[in-house]
Structure 1
Amino acid sequence: MPLKTLLLITASLAIAGSTSPNLRAQGPAPTPPMGWNSWNHFAGKVTDADVRSAADAMVSSGMRDAGYVYVNVDDTWEGTRDAQGVIHSNDKFPDMKALGDYIHSKGLKFGIYSSPGPKTCAGYEASYGHEEQDAKTYASWGVDYLKYDLCSFGGIMKKADDANGGGTAAGYKLMIAAYKKMGDALKATGRPIVYSLCQYGVDDVWVWGPSVGAQLWRTTDDINDSYGRMITIGLGQSGLNSYAGHGHWNDPDMLEVGNGKMTTDEYKTHMSLWALLAAPLLAGNDLSKMSDTDKSILMNREVIAIDQDKLGVQAKQVYQHGDFSAWAKPLSGGRVAVGLINTSWSVRDLSVALKELGLTGSVKAHDVWAGKDLGTVTGTLSARIPKHGVALFVLTK
């Protein structure tokens, strides 16, 4: 076992008081969370009105009924602390309790953002030294989800490392303790709040994430609305499947579907791959301006069912050669979801042997995006796939 991984496991278990590296947090996310986050489209310009509009659109578009329930306010909502140290929102968000009440009145859930460091990524007030106080405040506002972003805590980690003669072990231990401090504070409120670590995948967060009370953790740096970035992140999740399951999910970052810089086929690949990965499905577009195509991708019930399948298994990359990769995700009922991904710049006729998918004999195949049964397949699963496209199937013995 690599020394780095051993150090991380040892530190996380010592903090958690656990004797098993297989510790799993069950918490309030038995399936990957689904919802919307303000950052990808609105970034630092987001306002109370934007968030209310998103909540309205989630209902009117049918997204809520398709399973999207979290309405998450990302960075730049924060104001200053009062004399007692209580955090208040800024002028863009005049009343966070009222905003939470509005979101809840729509049958939705309310998410918020902070950092374990002194400042957020955008330089606003964060939770360092006020973890218990902030957790109580969030609970009083009716918060159901916290995204906790590493950002300025990196400087604290570096000071700890420098004080201990260099290396990174001291910083790792301090970081894990900081994340656990907020995890404990959220739990102490008595309110079931989903705890999402935005930690960019550094230091093998998937190893220790459950031990600090988290239900999901970022496995990668930020996504953006480009095919190259999206596919690099998606395919880079290979090998992490053993760390995902009920109540604990690998998070390859939010969806870019509908933000306009990828083609329809590329967005279908994005949505398919995230569903196969049992990833959180957090839309990041302007929900008030969705096209029918955007809606058809984000609200495809069969794709969502793959992501939310009750078996709770993340797909494994079972085949990769050149511009072609195949992913298989076991589903409940003995079924298997299969994604064939073409990363080339041309249409390709691609196939994969059923034995590569762990299947023998013949299977019944269903084309998910076409919404049609293909009959019986024996030996090889094949498809003509557009450039940067995907073929997504559900196979049944």
Structure 2
Amino acid sequence: MRRTDRKPSRKTAAALTAVLIGAGALTGPATAADRPADTSADTSADASARLDDGLALTPPMGFNNWNSTHCRPEFDEEMIKGVADIIVETGLKDAGYEYVNLDDCWALPERDADGKLVPDPERFPSGIAALADYVHAKGLKFGIYTSAGTMTCANDMPGALGHEYSDAQQFADWGVDYLKYDNCNNQGVDAIERYTTMRDALAATGRPIVYSICEWGQNDPWTWGADVGHLWRTTGDISDNWPSVLSIFEANVRLAEYAGPGHWNDPDMLEVGNGGMTATEYRSHFSLWSIMAAPLLIGTDLRVATDETIDILGNREVIAVDQDPLGRQATVVSSEGGRWVLTKKMSDGSRAVALFNASDTAQRIETTAAAAGLPEAPGYRMRDLWQHTTSHTAGTIAATVPAHGTALYRVRPDDGWAAYPPAVEVGATGIADAEAGTTSEVTASATNLGGTPARSVSLTITGPDGWDIQPTTATRAPRLRPGETLTTRWTLRIPEDTPPDTYEITVSATHRPSAHTTTTFTTHVLQPPPAGTSHISDLPWTREANGWGPVERDTSVGESAAGDGRPLTVGGTTYAKGLGAHAPSTVAFYAGERCTDLTAYVGVDDEVPESAGTVAFEVWADGTLLASTPTLTGADGPHPLTADVTGARHVELVVTDGGDGITSDHADWADATISCAA
């Protein structure tokens, strides 16, 4: 699926296929080979046996261009060749990435006279077979895309509905190793029937092709997908923002019982490196997908990827969790207050344990080896998969985890546990968002979780250049016995000339024998609005999240890239200033207890048909709902919204989907202003 706006209805009339063919509704000539006489869905044991083919015994790993390029001109054969080169050169191939997959927009809008798909000669002048040969020569595998409908999701190329057998053979002749089969323009034909037909068509080619069902989770594919494909999408499309990653994680994590070798839950491709999230959030994204045994398909253009992005994607210790041959998906131990604990059984008897903080503030998260599923033992070896350090614990697994962060460990009983240094948990309180020129008090701590003493323990706090961070109590202890804590206090002063932005503060503990633990926190340096009335689109934001693409300043929401929106227009009135959003959406900014009145005209942008798009708008301040609208549609026109934000420190503008799901929910905060004192 390309965007939630384009979901078709969920009609499931299996008999409609024959009607469509008879009426000529399916594009291109349909032959007897394309449609065998019996096209009914087969989910029997015999069907399951057809997928007993040794493919995808661990979650597929590779690359797909969609998240970084969509259908933009840079998607072409030179890009794909360049990505294949980089996968080899950077060591990502050796780390396990093997598929190089094309997504939508690789073909012309019309089939040829023989009903064959035609590669776009401008994008792929050498043809698809030659490109597949190039990828194969690198020791990699090649994948392609189409839809189980009459057109693909971008509506730019023919789908395979009615052409399954001929298209599958064409893919096999080109040397395709992986097929992503989407769900757009499906004409209401039963999902299981459509996807089963392509399964049989792929099998008929005799070529081993991994089969990815991209049905968006609409018909619970986890209940039937193992008989049909090797992996199935469990949700709608991912976006490069934190709310999207979090919502998809929460949907996919509950489906652990359905995953295993050769049949995987697919929470969609990776957004790591695309720029919409922090490094902490990208590490969480990668950690959560890996512990959920998800396919790992890189979604960023590796030709321009940073070293940090390559380091995240290439973390072999995390990849080993995803690729463990036992094939278990993590289960939830606990999730109270946004403090998630996940555990995954590994083939060597260890457990991968994730401590995931879904909340917006740092939190301490704790579990035990027993709760993670490990047997009772005097001690356990604990490997930190991001810091690449090994320590031991007497049984407690704990960390202070930054907002949206994940601590990921591999834990096992070990008779030689005492040979490793004790695990020391590092925590801090008081690191908070603040204005430039202010001073705050910070408390940092180090706790010995091991079964032997930690000696010569020392705590340090570091921040950006020029920040004044000084201890006010002792920062060292000669030893910490098991269970003991060293607590220190510090002052942190932010220079007055510090520009508004997000900054990192690192708390580290060192101890003997030769061990260290580091936790990185983020803080916003805040700038209150100027005196008078300001447009909210002109203010710095502390947080922005959007259901599709970024929130736009002074235009409607566009596609996936920033700056591609159109004039804000609600009910026939065009506004020069405002915010263009797409539900679910949040824009947060700092008011600094200086402001009083917030006003806006809100509604569904006129670019959406009146019959689509239902949203509701809310204004929150410091966790309290101050104002809201009823559910609005495109027929309602601009709706005035005001809120008294007197005394508020932080203000949030929120858009919900109106309670009916996300369908063309383009939401405008037109002429949104706030009045503040000096």
Residue 83 (structure 2) aligns with: 54
CA contact (8 A) 1:24 1:248 kept: no
Amino acid at match of 2:289: W
Aligned ranges 1:254-273 → 2 under 5 Å: 254-273=269-288
Residue 612 (structure 2) aligns with: none
1:32 aligns with 2:47: no
- Residue of structure 1 aligned with 2:227, choices 200, 211, 215: 211
C-alpha RMSD of the superposition: 1.9
1:288 aligns with 2:318: no
SS of aligned partner of 1:77: coil
CA contact (8 A) 2:351 2:374 kept: no
Amino acid at match of 1:128: L
1:18 aligns with 2:58: no
CA contact (8 A) 1:366 1:393 kept: yes
Offset of residue 128 of structure 1: 1.5
Q: TM-score, normalised by structure 2?
A: 0.53
Aligned ranges 1:81-96 → 2 under 5 Å: 81-91=111-121, 92-94=123-125, 95-96=127-128
Amino acid at match of 1:74: D
Offset of residue 231 of structure 1: 1.4
Residue 6 (structure 2) aligns with: none
Instruction: Give the whole-Å Cα distance in 2 for the aligned partners of 1:26 and 1:241.
Output: 20
Instruction: Give the whole-Å Cα distance in 2 for the aligned partners of 1:305 and 1:47.
Output: 32
Residue 96 (structure 2) aligns with: 67
Residue 364 (structure 2) aligns with: 349
CA contact (8 A) 1:132 1:182 kept: yes
Amino acid at match of 1:242: E
1:327 aligns with 2:342: yes
Offset of residue 356 of structure 1: 2.4
Deviations 1:101-126 (A, max 9, x none): 11111111110000111000011211
Instruction: Give the whole-Å Cα distance in 2 for the aligned partners of 1:220 and 1:121.
Output: 16
Offset of residue 143 of structure 1: 0.4
- Residue of structure 2 aligned with 1:101, choices 125, 133, 136: 133
Deviations 1:156-193 (A, max 9, x none): 21xxxxxxxxxxxxx5xx22111111110101111000
CA contact (8 A) 2:271 2:299 kept: yes
Instruction: Give the whole-Å Cα distance in 2 for the aligned partners of 1:263 and 1:232.
Output: 17
Offset of residue 22 of structure 1: 8.5
Larger radius of gyration: 2
1:303 aligns with 2:318: yes
CA contact (8 A) 2:343 2:352 kept: yes
SS of aligned partner of 1:322: helix
- Residue of structure 2 aligned with 1:144, choices 155, 160, 177: 177
Instruction: Give the whole-Å Cα distance in 1 for the aligned partners of 2:91 and 2:102.
Output: 20
Offset of residue 311 of structure 1: 0.7
CA contact (8 A) 1:26 1:246 kept: no
Residue 42 (structure 1) aligns with: 69
For structure 1, the 5+ residue unaligned runs are: 1-13, 158-170
Offset of residue 360 of structure 1: 4.2
Aligned ranges 1:355-366 → 2 under 5 Å: 355-361=370-376, 362-366=379-383
Amino acid at match of 1:267: Y
Instruction: Give the whole-Å Cα distance in 2 for the aligned partners of 1:367 and 1:394.
Output: 7
CA contact (8 A) 1:24 1:247 kept: no
Deviations 1:173-217 (A, max 9, x none): x221111111101011110000000010111101111222x0000
Offset of residue 52 of structure 1: 1.1
Instruction: Give the whole-Å Cα distance in 1 for the aligned partners of 2:45 and 2:275.
Output: 48
SS of aligned partner of 1:332: coil
Aligned ranges 1:118-157 → 2 under 5 Å: 118-123=150-155, 124-153=157-186, 156-157=187-188
Residue 161 (structure 1) aligns with: none
SS of aligned partner of 2:246: helix
Amino acid at match of 2:154: A
Offset of residue 392 of structure 1: 0.2
Instruction: Give the whole-Å Cα distance in 2 for the aligned partners of 1:315 and 1:232.
Output: 17
Instruction: Give the whole-Å Cα distance in 2 for the aligned partners of 1:113 and 1:284.
Output: 15
Instruction: Give the whole-Å Cα distance in 2 for the aligned partners of 1:194 and 1:17.
Output: 18
Give the 3 Å change call, closer, same or farther, for CA 188–287 of structure 1 in structure 2. same
Offset of residue 24 of structure 1: 9.0
Instruction: Give the whole-Å Cα distance in 2 for the aligned partners of 1:61 and 1:353.
Output: 37
Greater RCO, CA 8 A, separation 6+: 1
Offset of residue 346 of structure 1: 2.0
Deviations 1:79-119 (A, max 9, x none): 23121111111121221111111111111111000011100
SS of aligned partner of 1:350: strand
CA contact (8 A) 1:26 1:248 kept: no
Offset of residue 139 of structure 1: 0.5
Higher helix share goes to which structure?
Answer: 1
SS of aligned partner of 2:324: coil
Residue 10 (structure 1) aligns with: none
Amino acid at match of 1:252: P
Instruction: Give the whole-Å Cα distance in 2 for the aligned partners of 1:96 and 1:21.
Output: 30
Instruction: Give the whole-Å Cα distance in 2 for the aligned partners of 1:295 and 1:351.
Output: 30
Deviations 1:328-379 (A, max 9, x none): 000011110000001122222221133322234342211110101121332x
Instruction: Give the whole-Å Cα distance in 2 for the aligned partners of 1:354 and 1:21.
Output: 40
1:387 aligns with 2:408: no
Offset of residue 236 of structure 1: 2.0
Residue 199 (structure 1) aligns with: 215
Offset of residue 21 of structure 1: 11
Amino acid at match of 1:314: Q
Instruction: Give the whole-Å Cα distance in 2 for the aligned partners of 1:106 and 1:21.
Output: 34
CA contact (8 A) 2:253 2:292 kept: no
Aligned ranges 1:219-238 → 2 under 5 Å: 219-238=234-253
CA contact (8 A) 2:351 2:373 kept: no
Instruction: Give the whole-Å Cα distance in 2 for the aligned partners of 1:341 and 1:290.
Output: 26
SS of aligned partner of 1:16: coil
Give the 3 Å change call, closer, same or farther, for CA 24–278 of structure 1 in structure 2. farther
CA contact (8 A) 1:323 1:343 kept: yes
CA contact (8 A) 1:234 1:252 kept: yes
Report percent identity of matched pairs.
46
Residue 261 (structure 2) aligns with: 246
Higher strand share goes to which structure?
Answer: 2
Residue 32 (structure 2) aligns with: none
**How many residues get paired?**
367
SS of aligned partner of 1:282: strand
